[in-house]
Structure formats: C-alpha cells, structure tokens
Amino acid sequence: MLTQELLMHIHTTFGSKVFVVYASPAINDINELVAIHLDRKLFEHSNFKKASELNGHGRNTYIKAGTFSIACSNPKKIEDFDLIKELEQLTETDVQENNENNRQFIKGFSKKIISLTNENKYFSTSFQKLNETISKVDEYELFHSFLVMRNFRQLTGAQWLIKI
C-alpha cells in the first residue's frame, strides 16, 4: 500500500507523460517462474494493471495472464488492457522529440522523482541515503539520473521504461 501511494503521486504529477503500471508474473511456483524467464516468455505470462485502477485497494487477484482481475478492499473487476498498444500510444503522443529533448525529459523526470519521493514519509529517509552514495557523479546529469532511478527501483521495486 505504501508503494501504491507513491505510484499514485507519480501518476497524478506526470499525468499522460508517464504510464504507471503494476506487472506481476502469473505463475504457480518458482520453478515455473525460472522456466518462463529462461524461455524469455515472462512478458506473455504476466498480468499488467494500471496503478490508477488499483488506487484504494490493498490486493489484486487474478487467475492467469491477460485476463481480468479483482481489486480487493471494495471488490472491483478490472478488465485487461493491451500493454504494447498503450506504450505505442504514449510513444506517439509524448516521445516524438529528438534525443536532446529525451535527455532533458530523463533529467527532469529523475529530479521530480527525487522531489516526490523525498516528500513521502515512508520512503524519503532511505531514498536520500541511497542518493547520497551517488552524489559524486552529480555533474554527469544523465548518468546521475539513471542512478537515481536505479535507487528508486531498489527501494520500491518499481521498474521504469523509456522509449527513445
């Protein structure tokens, strides 16, 4: 629930410029997970849900990948969506700029993530400590931005993706 609160803050801050989703492998045990990973089919065997649709719910259950799920607390059926189609739409509308603008977006995005996460009462202290370890490379802004996002991933488990 703590991560959901932070992801919703990111979603409302960036709006249509970012696409915030939960991804979860739809597997039964660790052996199946490893086999699917080695076959490079994890994407096809995962369930994706928009974080905004899970707002206010403590749990989300599903039977298999690519089907609806049930968000719990106040049970609500959430239909599946086509992740690739959503990413292509995001690319078409927001990321059609040249590489310099993408660099600026990445640097600005990481600065906003720092600000948003530092405001969060659950993650701020740990995030600040993780970012202290990368302060030596502040002058390399793009590299620093990637390290900030790595720290964000380590802390929250949230992955990020950029289409350039």
Eight-state DSSP code of residue 53: G
The percentage of the chain sitting over the pLDDT mark of 70, rounded to a whole number, equals 88
Given pLDDT bands bounded at 50, 70 and 90, which one contains residue 67? Answer: confident
The residue-averaged pLDDT of 64-74 equals 77
Buried b (16+ CB within 10 A) or exposed e, 76-99: eebeeeebeeeeeebeeebeeeee
**Top-confidence residue, 96 or 82:** 82
pLDDT score of 64: 81
The residue-averaged pLDDT of 72-82 equals 75
- 38 sits in which H/E element: helix 30-38
The residue-averaged pLDDT of 6-17 equals 81
